Chains A and B, each alone.
Chain A
Amino acid sequence: MIPNILSFIVFLPVVGMFIVLLLPREKKTAIKVVSAVFTGLQIVLAWQIYVNFDTNTTSMQFVEQVKWIESFNIWYFVGIDGLSVSMVLLTALLSFIAIIASWNIDKAVKAYFALFLLLDAGMMGVFVALDFFLFYIFWEVMLLPMYFLIGIWGGPRREYAAIKFFLYTLLGSVLMLLALLVLYFNVKDPVTGGHTFNMLHMMDQANHTGILNQFNIRLLVYAALFIGFAIKVPIFPFHTWLPDAHVEAPTPISVILAGVLLKMGTYGMLRISFPILPDAMKWEPFLYGFVTLAVINIVYGSLCAMAQSDLKKLVAYSSIGHMGVVLLGMAGLTSLGMNGAVLQMFNHGIVSGMLFLLVGVIYDRAHHREIDGFGGLASQMPIYTGIASLAFFANLGLPGLNNFISEAFSFLGAFGSEAFNLKVFTIIGTLGIILTAGYMLWTLQRVFFGPLNPKYVNMPEVNTRELITLVPLGVLVIVLGVYPNLVLNLLEVSLNNLVQTVLNAPSVLLGMQ
């Protein structure tokens, strides 16, 4: 067991970044190898975490706590529970795969990989931070490299997309900052009695003082956090940055965007909003609003996906639909739904990552992404078609593949919720099952079936490097489809605890107690 393993996993990419920066810019291969080695080491560390993770405790593990800025009681406080460990594993995996997928980047290689490694560190940091201030810092650290990665290495409308992404996310950050400050000034450190950024202290309702005991204020803080996270998920109507960012971003960045960044929205809700302000979360107008948006995400996202002619945009809208399922699963506050939702976060990371890589493969060859511009690729690229079919069927929730079980649990949890009546919402949500099958199969047909488009008679089959990125994800799609316990075991205890905490929190107006 490596001591301070969380610090290592967060700051290893930073070390990698400095080494990349020290390398001469023309040593492109060396830069790529260094990046691959460091993200590879990250996977080794993630494996260590996976092996040493205690699945029977609700408390934070691998905790490191050091005073950082004493005058404001800010700590370097990291630790993980079941919720975060799944995201740490996902991030490590997808970062490495994205580095391999970045191998054919040729423009400003040094800057690209340095920025990517910084992004990696930021993402890891978000998932391990337990001090809200630290969380916020990592959250912002991600923003900048992402802006440049889209804005410099992106497609034709990259600048528009990058600015849109940046401003939208910044808006969310500002709201989060406001909420953060209200919480800081009104949560007392049980030891010193002073202000605190410690999330665990914030989760203990007994520490809430001052205006935080007024229900209206709590609702406002919750709403500010909600919008901040909703932009990231993204939840309708804050979602339009996503298709643009995805379409313009280079393939590996799309993988990271869909695979990791979207999860931060729902992660933030589960790590911060739900446990810190459970009564606001359970306030019926908020809750039913939340579920309504979840269902809109599913149905509207799927319908929009069906309308797209750009393959990448289709996958982007598909993500909106699938994240709706996550939200629905969370909302019911059942063990089944919550575990399903977080498993769905993990699974969606894998499947959407795969889908973006797959789009990248044919984009690199055909230099376009028009769904109707292909046709008959199945006869020309049988291996590619096989892998794509696997990902497509996983995405439409075929049993035996990973998405099915997490979606089914999300729906089961929402439908069976005893705290709220979400039956009608769930039934409307299941429409997404038909719609998703509709647009995925229609796409499958248009791209792969029919007579081979004569333009692509010489289209080369998927190559080894592409296979290295696709196959691990494909294997996970099957393994987790058959044996979801590999992830569920990690989640279960922490998430059940979360569900119980939120359910048992008093729903009455705290200020009137």
Chain B
Amino acid sequence: MIVDYVVWIILLPLISFTIQIFFGKRLPRQGDWLPTSVMFVDLLLALIVAGKVFSAYDPDFRIARSFEWVVLGTTTIKFGLLIDNLTAVMLFIVTLVSSLVHLFSIGYMHGDPRYSRYFAYLSLFSFSMLGLVSVDNFLGIYMFWELVGVSSFLLIGFWFEKHSASNAAKKAFLVNRVGDVGMFIGILLIFAITHTFNFDEVFGKIASGEFAGALLTAAGILIFCGAVGKSAQFPLHVWLPDAMEGPTPVSALIHAATMVAAGVYLVGRTFVLYTETALLIIAGIGTITAFIAATIAVVQMDIKKVLAYSTISQLGYMIAALGVGGYNAGLFHLMTHAFFKALLFLGAGSVIHAMHHEQDMRQMGGLRHKLPITFVTFLIATMAISGVPGLSGFFSKDAILAAALGKAMETGTLYHYLIFATLIFTAGLTAFYMFRALFLTFYGTPRNQEKYDHAHESPSTMTIPLIALALFTVIGGYGSWFEELIRKPSLAMFSTGAAQEAAHAAAEGAAHGAHTIAMVLSILFAFAGIFIAALYYYWNKYSAEAVSEKFAALYRFLWNKWYFDELYQATAVRGTLLLSRAMGWFDLKVIDGIVNGTARMTTLLSFGSGTTDNRVVDGLVNWVARIVGWFGATLREIQTGKVQAYILMALGAFILLYVIQLAMV
């Protein structure tokens, strides 16, 4: 029953994609209504699924259905769906944000020459993303993983005439591929050991101890590589800021709310795969990412770039949360972040739309009078991401910090304390840069009067999504259902025999002891961040330029995004290109050179033997002939025809022979 609903949730966007890509242009309104209404139907279905799933109110709720996809000898590869509370939540998040983004896009993309194609791509993405969160096996998740990647490629490069857009699309796909290959090798390893792709079967082998030790750690880290790529974690985070080349609603849907969160979902979905060692790495990567991205966001001037780095930073938070065992906290933040970050991006889109595709905050200012709805909703989202108490972001961020502190108190290691300290400091940075962006955009005096004068509030197809998302941003953190339903999976769930409690199943409870400290600190840091932002950008007590001049070196370092792009360009990109050119040269000159050389040698040799044949062999023949001829000519003189001469010669010969004979005796 539930599975049938999910099948339709996944298939409907695929159907609308197929219709839209082939016939979209010929449909009335270029077909925009078709994918959009399909997504709203999907949202409805997702709500029904969520209702049915949650009505059981069982954290271990789990239904699966699969069919045999490929049978080869003893190997059977099954493909199917797995629906549990997490999937139900993800289906809801994806369909909600996707349907609102569809609606928003009708206004935002109005008049674009490839308007119908845009909606086709959105459908393709929705299909892939919904499949990704519902599929029940590693191979399947990898397939949808790549498909969301290609939808992302198509949408980032949507305005492909711009060189920067096609570059960004290519970069996104390739950087992701690097992570994906790690994930693919992880899948190879898992399959070689367990002979199955099915999540539950793999986890069962872990529970029974058949799959353990260093190989399990390696498999976990390799699978995590996929998450590093897709969720833009250090060191593969460089593609996401460039991905802002895509239309802004796309950034909201794919590069903020859903696809980039797929990495977090992956780690959550396969959580029992990660050993303690793997989790240490995951926590470290997440924390580094959260910090680096936040520092870069502080100096950005492009409103979308601020949000992009903010997204990377928040994804780092989620990954770090999972790494410290805060399973529920990380996934909770995934959900609340989807609401407020989609809202921030759509808000930014509304601003950009109003400013005629101006993204530079130095050209904005004072827009709150012109765009009241956009402003209020943007403010709500900014407060949520900054961790202002009462809003959804506060609850989830607080849960993460509590989990990090709890883990630190539990293990007592410097490593985990450092993680907590970095995360809490980053929370302060987040509040600072988000309010900085808010003040620069909506407060103060207009810095570009002409653009300001032309600015106007967006049409209702664009403001309704803003309001809807603002609603979820406010209420999304309340209630204990998330905490009660999205429970960290324990190995016991997957073991068929005696229940073996997982080694890393206990941490979440410990976090409660740390809750109060974490909450106080997080509120403190959030308000400190907001206060400092206000000092610089609202009250203008201090000048940001003065600071950037004073710490010029640091400012340059941050402005250049820690020089990651330059580093990769100089090493990986240039290295590969050089190597490929060297190989091309080697192939042409050396390998083919040998072939051609052999051919030339053969012709040379044949020429040589031809010459020898002409001069030596044939020469010898001719020479013999000539000798014979000469003898003939010479001896002809003897043939005089006179009998006397012949008798004389015969006599002479006789005497000669006689003398010889005498001499021999």
- The yes or no verdict on A and B being binding partners is yes
Binary A-proximity of B154-165 (CB < 8 A = 1, otherwise 0): 000100110101
- Which B residues lie within 8 Å of A408 (CB)? 139, 184
In the complex, A439→B177 CA distance in Å?
13
State whether B587 touches A450 (Cβ < 8 A). Answer: no
Number of residues from A at the complex interface, CB < 8 A: 59
State whether B185 touches A427 (Cβ < 8 A). Answer: yes
State whether A304 touches B170 (Cβ < 8 A). Answer: no
State whether B147 touches A398 (Cβ < 8 A). Answer: yes
Does A300 count as interface, using CB distance less than 8 angstroms?
yes
In the complex, A167→B603 CA distance in Å?
13
- Which A residues lie within 8 Å of B2 (CB)? none
Within 8 A of B (CB), among A466-511: 484-485, 488, 492, 496, 499
Does B178 count as interface, using CB distance less than 8 angstroms?
yes
- The smallest C-beta distance from A379 to any residue of chain B, in angstroms, reads 7
- Which A residues lie within 8 Å of B163 (CB)? 449-450
State whether A303 touches B147 (Cβ < 8 A). Answer: no
Does B639 count as interface, using CB distance less than 8 angstroms?
no
In the complex, A255→B309 CA distance in Å?
47
- Which B residues lie within 8 Å of A74 (CB)? none
- Which B residues lie within 8 Å of A492 (CB)? 71-73
State whether A488 touches B583 (Cβ < 8 A). Answer: no
In the complex, A344→B503 CA distance in Å?
43
State whether A488 touches B72 (Cβ < 8 A). Answer: yes
> Contacts A430-B185, A434-B181 hold; do A449 and B161 have CB atoms under 8 A apart?
yes
State whether B177 touches A393 (Cβ < 8 A). Answer: no
Does A199 count as interface, using CB distance less than 8 angstroms?
no
**Contact stretch, chosen from A207-215, A274-282, A409-417:** A409-417
Does A156 count as interface, using CB distance less than 8 angstroms?
no
Does B579 count as interface, using CB distance less than 8 angstroms?
yes
- The smallest C-beta distance from A469 to any residue of chain B, in angstroms, reads 19
Does B62 count as interface, using CB distance less than 8 angstroms?
no
State whether A304 touches B147 (Cβ < 8 A). Answer: no
State whether A441 touches B178 (Cβ < 8 A). Answer: no
- The smallest C-beta distance from B498 to any residue of chain A, in angstroms, reads 29
- Which A residues lie within 8 Å of B191 (CB)? 412, 415-416
In the complex, A155→B146 CA distance in Å?
39
Does B362 count as interface, using CB distance less than 8 angstroms?
no
State whether A335 touches B587 (Cβ < 8 A). Answer: no
State whether B72 touches A304 (Cβ < 8 A). Answer: no
Number of residues from B at the complex interface, CB < 8 A: 52
Does B535 count as interface, using CB distance less than 8 angstroms?
no
Selected from B147, B160, B173, the residue in CB contact (under 8 A) with A437 is B173
Minimum CB distance partner of B184 in chain A: A430
Does A431 count as interface, using CB distance less than 8 angstroms?
yes
Within 8 A of B (CB), among A156-172: 164, 167-168
- Which B residues lie within 8 Å of A167 (CB)? 599
Does A448 count as interface, using CB distance less than 8 angstroms?
yes
**Majority SS of interface residues in chain A?**
helix
- Which B residues lie within 8 Å of A205 (CB)? none
Does A433 count as interface, using CB distance less than 8 angstroms?
yes
> Contacts A430-B185, A488-B72 hold; do A307 and B581 have CB atoms under 8 A apart?
yes
Does A426 count as interface, using CB distance less than 8 angstroms?
yes
Does A404 count as interface, using CB distance less than 8 angstroms?
yes
- Which B residues lie within 8 Å of A304 (CB)? 580, 583-584, 587
Does A454 count as interface, using CB distance less than 8 angstroms?
no
Does A285 count as interface, using CB distance less than 8 angstroms?
no
Does A237 count as interface, using CB distance less than 8 angstroms?
yes
Does B634 count as interface, using CB distance less than 8 angstroms?
no
Binary B-proximity of A293-309 (CB < 8 A = 1, otherwise 0): 00000001001101110
- Which B residues lie within 8 Å of A400 (CB)? 143, 147
- Which A residues lie within 8 Å of B174 (CB)? 434, 437-438, 441
In the complex, A433→B595 CA distance in Å?
29
Minimum CB distance partner of A305 in chain B: B580
- Which B residues lie within 8 Å of A439 (CB)? 580
State whether A335 touches B161 (Cβ < 8 A). Answer: no
Selected from A239, A379, A445, A496, the residue in CB contact (under 8 A) with B73 is A496
Residues of B within 8 A of A (CB): 21, 69-75, 139, 142-144, 146-147, 150, 153, 157, 160-161, 163, 165-167, 169-170, 173-174, 177-178, 180-181, 184-185, 188-189, 191-192, 195, 576-577, 579-581, 583-585, 587, 591-592, 594-595, 599
> Which 5 pairs from chain A and chain B are nearest by CB?
A307-B584, A399-B143, A335-B73, A449-B166, A306-B580
Residues of A within 8 A of B (CB): 164, 167-168, 236-237, 239-241, 300, 303-304, 306-308, 335-336, 339, 376, 378-379, 386, 393, 398-400, 404-405, 408-409, 411-412, 415-416, 423, 426-427, 430-431, 433-435, 437-439, 441-442, 444-445, 448-452, 484-485, 488, 492, 496, 499
Give me 25 A-to-B residue pairs in the complex whose CB atoms sit less than 8 angstroms apart, sorted by A's number: A164-B599, A237-B591, A239-B591, A304-B583, A304-B584, A306-B580, A335-B74, A336-B72, A339-B72, A399-B144, A399-B146, A400-B143, A405-B70, A411-B184, A416-B195, A430-B184, A433-B177, A434-B177, A435-B576, A438-B576, A448-B160, A449-B160, A451-B161, A452-B161, A496-B73
Q: A304-B584, A444-B170 are known contacts; what are 5 more A-B pairs with Cβ within 8 Å?
A: A164-B599, A303-B576, A306-B577, A336-B73, A379-B161
